[in-house]
C-alpha cells in the first residue's frame, strides 16, 4: 500500500490469500466467501477500522479491497 501498489495487483491479492490461509491455519476454516465478509467488516465496523488503521491510515480499506479482489480471482 505504501509503495502505491493497487489492492487489485497480484502482489496484494497474494498477501490477502496468505492472510486467509493464516486464519484457516490458526483459527477456523476461512473460505473465500467468509474472508470477503471479514474484509467488509474491517471497514463497516469502526472498531476494526481504527485498529487496522493503526498500522497505516487507509489500511483497512486497502485490505478489504485486496481481499475482495482475491475472492473474485478464486471464483
Q: Is residue 1, in this structure, part of any structural domain at all? A: no
What would the pLDDT profile of 13-65 be if each residue is shown by its tens digit?
999 999 999 999 999 999 999 999 999 999 999 999 999 999 999 999 999 99
Q: Is residue 61, in this structure, part of any structural domain at all? A: yes
Q: Is residue 20, in this structure, part of any structural domain at all? A: yes
What would the pLDDT profile of 50-64 be if each residue is shown by its tens digit?
999 999 999 999 999
Strand ranges in the chain using DSSP code E only, listed in sequence order = none
* 8 A C-beta contact, residue 64 and residue 39: yes
- Count: domains in the chain: 1
Torsion angle of the four alpha carbons 51, 54, 57, 59, in this order, in degrees rounded to the nearest 10: -60
Q: Is residue 64, in this structure, part of any structural domain at all? A: yes
Range of the domain at 18: 10-73
Q: Is residue 4, in this structure, part of any structural domain at all? A: no
Q: Is residue 2, in this structure, part of any structural domain at all? A: no
Q: Is residue 60, in this structure, part of any structural domain at all? A: yes
pTM of the model: 0.95
Amino acid at each position: 500500500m505504501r509503495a502505491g501498489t493497487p489492492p487489485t495487483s497480484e502482489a496484494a491479492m497474494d498477501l490477502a490469500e496468505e492472510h486467509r490461509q493464516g486464519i484457516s491455519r490458526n483459527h477456523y476454516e476461512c473460505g473465500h466467501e467468509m474472508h470477503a465478509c471479514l474484509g467488509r467488516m474491517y471497514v463497516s465496523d469502526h472498531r476494526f477500522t481504527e485498529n487496522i488503521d493503526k498500522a497505516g491510515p487507509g489500511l483497512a480499506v486497502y485490505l478489504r479491497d485486496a481481499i475482495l479482489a482475491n475472492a473474485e480471482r478464486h471464483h
